[in-house]
Amino acid sequence: MTCTFLTCPPVMSADGDPLVAFFLAEGYDLDRLRAEHADDGSGRCRACGGPQSGRFRWPCDTRRAADRAVERQRADRDTTS
């Protein structure tokens, strides 16, 4: 059986965050993700939220997880080089 994000238990990253592990395992473009989830100038995330709920505070959960994923990539690169 092939595991997918929906059929297998979450894999934890070293910091215990399954979203960080997902971003790294799926090969997300973290620079683009971080650029999309940026401050809109009023302390809100440009990408999160909607017309009913308004914008979420920045940094949003997605941005924080993407930042941690970048930190993890750098740490892994530093230990292997």
- Rounded CA gap, 38 and 48, in Å? 10
Nearest to 32 by CA among 58, 69, 1: 69
> pLDDT category, 77, cuts 50, 70, 90?
confident
**Residue pLDDT, tens place only, 34-48:** 999 999 999 999 999
- For the chain, the structural domain boundaries read 18-80
pLDDT in tens, 13-33: 556 789 999 999 999 999 999
Instruction: Report the distance separating Cα 52 and Cα 48, nearest Å.
Output: 12
